[in-house]
Amino acid sequence: MDLGELKKSASSAIDGVREELVRLAKDIHENPELAFEEYKASNWLCSFLEKEGFLVKRKVAGMDTDFLASFSVKEGGPTIAVLAEYDALPGVGHACGHNIIGTSAAGAGVGVKKALEMSGIPGRVLVLGTPAEEGGGGKVLMVKAGIFKDVDAALMMHPTSGTSRIGGRSLATHSFQFDYYGKAAHAAGSPTEGINALDAVNIFFHAVACLRQHVPEDVRMHGMVTKGGDAVNIIPDHTQVRYLVRSYSQKTLKKVCERVKDCARAGALATGCKLEIQEADGYKARVPNKVLSDLFRANLAMLGEEVMGDIVDGKGSTDFGDVSREVPACNAYIKIAPEGVAGHSVEFREASISERAEEALILSAKAMAFTALDLMADSSLLLKAKEEFLKARQD
């Protein structure tokens, strides 16, 4: 059976479950669930995949709402994972369109399964349920749990506005909480007795403002004061800042974080405050893969979608970045709204349930299934993707 026939059978299998996928996307949209609490969405997706003949395991990485659905007819061959997200945002619901991500992944799984059944070629398709992209990072936990150890490549779609494209780098993040401790005193009566923890914050923000000129352009440094004092007539004795640093490069991120900590220390030193620093790694920077990107783009084009020619860097951060440092990975962004509609907005939430979102769901499911089949049919492609991956992930 040639590759064209395989893709045709995948495509008609996806068309066959179109109504169900669209219904599922609507149900998930109407029942927004936050990070790690996506009980309904993950259950619905698991039930659908079980009904379609997948072997479904839940809580494979210790989260209530993660899952791993697998299918193969013959041992051996590559394992291609299609990633599902399904968490919503606080307040605005599915304003990032993850209802489409979860359902398109399930659709892609159904398509590949059909092609494997028809042809009997070796290979395994996984649909991975990855909770909490918007906060908590389910994929980070899945990487830590070793879920990607047997995976050869990972694919995912994300809805977007403007023209469809293949995602390039995303920003790595590192977060801080700075607590300054000074000494309270009457602000007018006895200021000489006080140690001003808000002054320390001022100096910290000013020091970072000076630092901005001397860091690479991709670096982002931003934060907020979460405690600024208790009363206007008391010298603040405790202040708190939450801060985030981002870069495309893990190495740059590490260096800049050291300098940001020095800025924080400057505030403490200048004022005589005590400083406590808490910090945590966030999502890693996404490593694009040209081999996978070219395949994914060609399949989207074959399905009639207009796609940008290049791999396009994004200024956000995603836990898909962590996956892209474990295995060759490709994250396509598929248009569901016109240029200018911002993600995480009410408009984007409405777009995630539009007719165009339905089209994007089916289109993405097919393009991901086709890309998985390309990789299963020609092992040299995966070898090339892996060579590129090993070189590229070093930064």
Q: How far is the CB of 318 from Zn ion (least distance, A)?
A: 7
Q: Which is nearer to Zn ion, 229 or 343 (CB)?
A: 343
Q: Which is nearer to Zn ion, 178 or 320 (CB)?
A: 320
Q: Which is nearer to Zn ion, 96 or 362 (CB)?
A: 96
Question: Cβ(127)–Cβ(80) under 8 Å?
Answer: no
Q: Which amino acid is at 103?
A: T
Question: Cβ(159)–Cβ(360) under 8 Å?
Answer: yes
132 binds Zn ion (CB under 5 A): no
Stretch of 66-74, 92-100, 187-195, 258-266 lying at the interface with Zn ion (CB under 5 A): 92-100
Q: How far is the CB of 304 from Zn ion (least distance, A)?
A: 25
* Residue nearest to Zn ion as judged by C-beta position: 96
Q: How far is the CB of 344 from Zn ion (least distance, A)?
A: 6
357 binds Zn ion (CB under 5 A): no
Q: How far is the CB of 150 from Zn ion (least distance, A)?
A: 26
Q: How far is the CB of 310 from Zn ion (least distance, A)?
A: 21
Q: Which is nearer to Zn ion, 11 or 170 (CB)?
A: 170
83 binds Zn ion (CB under 5 A): no
Q: What is the 3-state secondary structure (H, E, C) of the chain?
A: CCHHHHHHHHHHHHHHCHHHHHHHHHHHHHCCCCCCCCHHHHHHHHHHHHHCCCEEEECCCCCCCCEEEEEECCCCCCEEEEEECCCCECCCECCCCHHHHHHHHHHHHHHHHHHHHHHCCCCEEEEEECCCCCCCCHHHHHHHCCCCCCCCEEEEEEEEECCEEEECCCCEEEEEEEEEECECCECCCCHHHCECHHHHHHHHHHHHHHHHHHCCCCCEEEEEEEECCCCCCECCCEEEEEEEEEECCHHHHHHHHHHHHHHHHHHHHHHCCEEEEEEEECCCCCCCCHHHHHHHHHHHHHCCCCEEEEEECCCCCCCHHHHHCCCCEEEEEEEEECCCCCCCCHHHHHHCCCHHHHHHHHHHHHHHHHHHHHHHHCHHHHHHHHHHHHHHCCC
360 binds Zn ion (CB under 5 A): no
96 binds Zn ion (CB under 5 A): yes
Stretch of 93-101, 169-177, 245-253, 268-276 lying at the interface with Zn ion (CB under 5 A): 93-101
Q: How far is the CB of 336 from Zn ion (least distance, A)?
A: 12
Cβ partners under 8 Å of residue 66, min gap 6: 42, 58, 59, 60, 128, 129, 130, 131, 138, 141, 142
Beta pairing partners, 159: 334
Q: Which is nearer to Zn ion, 96 or 268 (CB)?
A: 96
Q: How far is the CB of 294 from Zn ion (least distance, A)?
A: 24
363 binds Zn ion (CB under 5 A): no
Q: How far is the CB of 134 from Zn ion (least distance, A)?
A: 5
Q: How far is the CB of 302 from Zn ion (least distance, A)?
A: 26
Q: Which is nearer to Zn ion, 87 or 374 (CB)?
A: 87
Q: How far is the CB of 362 from Zn ion (least distance, A)?
A: 19
Stretch of 29-37, 96-104, 307-315, 325-333 lying at the interface with Zn ion (CB under 5 A): 96-104
Stretch of 19-27, 89-97, 225-233, 333-341 lying at the interface with Zn ion (CB under 5 A): 89-97
140 binds Zn ion (CB under 5 A): no
223-282 residues in contact with Zn ion (CB under 5 A) are none
337 binds Zn ion (CB under 5 A): no
Size of the site for Zn ion (CB under 5 A): 1
375 binds Zn ion (CB under 5 A): no
Q: Which is nearer to Zn ion, 279 or 313 (CB)?
A: 313
What does the alpha-carbon distance between residue 105 and residue 139 come to, in Å, rounded to a whole number? Answer: 15
Residues that bind Zn ion (CB under 5 A): 96
